[in-house]
Amino acid sequence: MKLSDKINIEEKENYYYFHLHGKFVGEDETDFLEKQLDLYANANKNKVIIDLSDVNYFSSIALGILLKQDEKFTKSNGKIVICCVPDFLANIFVITKTDSILNISNNLEFALNSLNR
């Protein structure tokens, strides 16, 4: 699978929508995710929704990238909202207490509402 197939990015009216697919182990795909998020962290339109509904593995490296990028976006008055988190990953967020740091929404509608607050 090509890296561009692992992360589909759509430009919306006032945000970017990242739909992740497959495994994010900590190699090329996590580097690609970090670089793509870096592009938008300091952009004029620096709001991103990340949909994890089609992710079937997410390493601690990938989780670290989300935390690091969330901090970057916050410092530049942007925002990342994560939505549609699979149960296995939601449990990891709870166990690691990252659910209290990251903006996580159950579905896209809630993510949009959270993004605009």
- Residue with the two structure tokens 């690609």: 32
- What's the CATH number where 79 sits? 3.30.750.24
Query: Does the structure show a pLDDT above 70 at 1?
Result: no
CA dist 32 → 4, 8, 58, 88 (Å): 9, 12, 14, 23
pTM of the shown model: 0.95
Domain limits at 106? 3-115
Nearest to 82 by CA among 95, 69, 59: 69
What's the average model confidence in pLDDT over 48-62? 96
Q: Where are the alpha helices (DSSP H) in the chain?
A: 3-6, 28-41, 60-75, 87-95, 108-115
Work out the average pLDDT over 48-68.
96
| Percent of the chain topping pLDDT 90 | 87
Domain count, the chain: 1
Residues whose CB falls within 8 Å of the CB of residue 33, separated by 6 or more in sequence, listed in order: 7, 18, 20, 24, 62, 65
User: Cβ contacts of residue 5 below 8 Å, gap of 6+?
Assistant: 21
